[in-house]
Structure 1
């Protein structure tokens, strides 16, 4: 009886091992990369949910903005129709993690290309060049640009390039970071801080959404190249996304998308960037 029991245990262990090995060989659905998903007609794309004109989840559950249109155009070039796209919120501090863990196929979310980020993810683009600026209450006369930030309370988003820039280059400023810009705007409106800082194009959208409450001040004081973030080492995907961005610019879709989204706030479309193929 002891021998038979041992045999049963051994056979059971072998069966479990074979099952696990078979699942691993099949990938269990986890081994697919972005282009595999695209061949199946489906993509999960990271965007912002709280940036008017760029990436916004509307009250009816739809999504709008320039980043959204860029993401959809690229998906189309990869063979995926709009109804095959699942949009996933990509907060600034979580973008690299979402890509590394395979939770998204790529991200188009005001994602500034930087050497530090390129250690973890790859980028296609840029598809837009922005610059950091400042948003203040409409009646504010103290802040006219970055040179007048000393001693001021400034809010930005955790893990964002603008927050890092303030912390590094403006040490006399009291930096407050939140998970979203929406929280920064609430604090600005309520007087918890004096300014919100991020890229000019983002701030223009917020100012337009709350006409009469806020204003953008000063000239941009950085250069931010927006790229599409994707899995590190996936050169085939990066090349295809770069091709798509170039096609969007060349066929007029880039300008049309900008005018219908950010342009609605009165912000004029700049000259499209040159894709650098990072």
Structure 2
């Protein structure tokens, strides 16, 4: 009888182990990654810029900027609270690789949608239509790109923006290339340069910094169209669709307008209305 009871106990224990293994297999390994959500994942990794005030900026107290606000809203719609977001710096040259490697779930980092990039990644959005513009002093008489002939124009090394101005509008402009936009701003403030050029959203972000408030203005030119999209790993259509739905909701709830005002307002940024999902302005 004792032997029979022992066999029954062993059979029950074995059955419990099988059930435990089966439940674990069905429920996953318990180690959540950036593909989890809706309360089931610990973290989501999102790529942003760390050095663009008003868009994506790493500060002692955390992260700020329009891209950060958009990404935070999208993440919440995907099921993640702000404290579940792990921000990852994704520099321009590494964005496609970061998505391909799976380093991040998506990227919101002044990522203009282009045909070339769409060969490597998928895009949700666009969520902002920016334009190449000029940043000048508030009392500047520069109102057109042609006014830069004979004047000093600044941008960062390797930028195509400044070269576009020289090639298409002001061939006699004196081009000065610095390592950072902050150096250009210092030159603009001192009078060493007459204008700084890049996307108007980036210019507005820098001009909105506390130390520069009221000192600079955007010329209000539209020298190019830059459709900012949210980059997603190639083939991840499900995530693209979810992000697009989140962006549409953000616009509908006026959270998009608030993010624009909060981040660009001090620079008197004349933003375009929220773009329609899937509509690329050439």
Alignment of 1:42-121 (within 5 A): 42-58=43-59, 60-121=60-121
Q: Label 1:170 to 1:268 Cα distance change in 2 as closer, same or farther (>3 A).
A: closer
Residue 40 of structure 1: aligned partner = 41
Equivalent pairs, count: 246
**1:267 aligns with one of 269, 274, 277:** 269
What is the CA distance between 1:224 and its match in structure 2?
Answer: 1.5
- Distance in 2 (CA, whole Å) between partners of 1:86 and 1:178 is 31
**1:224 aligns with one of 226, 231, 245:** 226
Alignment check: 8 A CA contact 1:99 1:231 kept:
yes
- Distance in 2 (CA, whole Å) between partners of 1:112 and 1:70 is 15
Pair 1:235 & 2:249 matched: no
- SS of equivalent residue, structure 1 residue 103: coil
Q: Label 1:47 to 1:163 Cα distance change in 2 as closer, same or farther (>3 A).
A: farther
- SS of equivalent residue, structure 2 residue 122: strand
What is the CA distance between 1:158 and its match in structure 2?
Answer: 5.9
- Distance in 1 (CA, whole Å) between partners of 2:166 and 2:46 is 30
Give the TM-score normalised by the residue count of structure 1: 0.73
What is the CA distance between 1:139 and its match in structure 2?
Answer: 5.3
- Distance in 1 (CA, whole Å) between partners of 2:102 and 2:176 is 30
Alignment check: 8 A CA contact 2:208 2:263 kept:
no
Alignment check: 8 A CA contact 1:48 1:56 kept:
yes
Residue 17 of structure 2: aligned partner = none
Structure 2 spans left out of the alignment, 5+ residues = 1-28
What is the CA distance between 1:47 and its match in structure 2?
Answer: 1.8
Alignment check: 8 A CA contact 2:220 2:270 kept:
no
Compare CA radii of gyration and give the structure with the larger one: 2
- SS of equivalent residue, structure 1 residue 203: helix
- SS of equivalent residue, structure 2 residue 113: coil
Alignment check: 8 A CA contact 2:54 2:205 kept:
yes
Q: Label 1:86 to 1:174 Cα distance change in 2 as closer, same or farther (>3 A).
A: farther
Residue 17 of structure 1: aligned partner = none
Alignment check: 8 A CA contact 2:52 2:205 kept:
yes
What is the CA distance between 1:126 and its match in structure 2?
Answer: 0.7
Structure 1 spans left out of the alignment, 5+ residues = 1-28
CA distances 1:50-71 after superposition (whole Å, capped 9, x unpaired): 333322223x331122211100
What is the CA distance between 1:78 and its match in structure 2?
Answer: 1.0
- Distance in 2 (CA, whole Å) between partners of 1:233 and 1:151 is 49
CA distances 1:169-211 after superposition (whole Å, capped 9, x unpaired): 4683555555643343244445564422122232223223202
Give the TM-score normalised by the residue count of structure 2: 0.73
- Range that drifts further, 206-215 or 33-42: 33-42
What is the CA distance between 1:152 and its match in structure 2?
Answer: 4.8
- SS of equivalent residue, structure 1 residue 116: helix
